[in-house]
Chains A and B, each alone.
Chain A
């Protein structure tokens, strides 16, 4: 079953550590979003392997925007 990684807060993606094929575990660092002049580390919500990545560093995201899918 595919899981989704969504942006937990609005801001700008300044680092993205995942690409298709990256395997992740719950609570590993997957990206950094800058909001309110603060860099917020985002942790993986689940275990799995990244299937597709929809965003790239530099993108502005809204809360709830789809970032990647996990197989």
Chain B
């Protein structure tokens, strides 16, 4: 009789709980709290937080290979590289590359901000992460969630949960992390610089842009093809003006659906046994450094460009080179307004910001080309 009771008890999760699981519950609940109360990237942190709770409930089998529900989401969605490119389809449909086309030299700022990615890559490797893990960690500096997930699933799936959460948390914290660095590294006079009015961009240019970029970028870095292809297809939907329904689906319905299937399994990769290791937790430190370095190199590059050009660039725009669209551009705008109430930088900042998206994808493509097994 006692034995029967005991084996009955054994079928429940209670006796299989570990302290690590309870720590993970707290992390999951904190993410859910931040999503609801502070609205930090709620569309992602909410399902991620819930996924963490689920996977740390013992015996649920949700992540059991071939059987578990969340494992299937993870395997067929992320491991098969379906979801991140679909997110990029939506981003393409959302993104107006006009500000970049109006002021093409700002593309350098989007490239410059990738320096943090590479610097952190070398730092992480020097600290004992293997070369593929180091590349994935460096990618957090680009502040681009789907790209970080994409590269992580290819190079270092064991770090995917931590890297994704780090990338999305820092994206949410762009308005907190970036402004002090921006103020520190620029003078008030520089922050007051007004940008020259941009040239108008024709409809035809905007339409040709996704096609030409697809050719150019994929020919140069074939490994970036899945993300660039979908990004530019989404953008062609947008700029062609003839497929409003597809554009709408990519922006809304499809985007919302894949967001659900993205967040939940990411959270589910964060089982206590995998996540609570110094090596994984330290990713949050390195990711933050990567992100700060990207912001700094963007600002420095803008200042450098000013040494050589007649038409001065407001160096704050450099900080928008990280690809957190449009948060980084908004932050540039806000810091600019602080210096001069009549300096409206938002549209100019969108140039390096959208260039940053492309820059991050290219950086990922280069890593995958060089490192993929």
Contact = CB atoms under 8 A, between A and B. Distances in A.
Contact of B347 (A35, A42, A43): A35
Which among A35, A36, A42, A45 has the greatest number of chain B C-beta atoms within 10 A?
A: A36
A69 interface: no
Nearest to B353: A36
A43 B329 CA distance: 20
B37 interface: no
Nearest to A62: B200
Contacts of A63: 197, 347
B333 interface: yes
DSSP majority for the A interface?
loop
Contact of B344 (A8, A27, A37): A8
A40 B326 contact: no
B341 interface: yes
A48 to B, nearest CB: 15
Question: Is the interface on chain A under 10, 10 to 19, 20 to 34, or 35 or more residues?
Answer: 10 to 19
B326 A10 contact: no
Given A63-B197, A64-B197, A40 B346 contact: yes
B342 A38 contact: no
B192 interface: no
Contact of B326 (A36, A41, A64): A36
Contact of A9 (B326, B330, B341, B346): B346
B346 A43 contact: no
Contacts of A45: 342
B171 interface: no
Contacts of A36: 326, 329-330, 346-347, 350
A43 B341 CA distance: 7
A45 B333 CA distance: 18
Given A40-B333, A64-B197, A9 B347 contact: yes
Given A9-B347, A36-B350, A38-B330, A43 B197 contact: no
Interface residues of B, number: 12
B197 A37 contact: no
Contacts of B341: 27, 43
Interface string B315-332: 000000000001001100
A1 to B, nearest CB: 19
A56 B337 CA distance: 24
Contacts of A38: 326, 330, 333, 346
A10 B330 contact: no
A23 B350 CA distance: 34
Interface in A49-69: 63-64
Contacts of A64: 197
Interface in B151-182: none
Interface string B339-366: 0011010110010000000000000000
Question: Would you list the 9 A-B pairs with minimal beta carbon distance, nearest first?
Answer: A8-B344, A36-B326, A43-B341, A9-B344, A38-B330, A27-B341, A9-B347, A35-B346, A9-B346
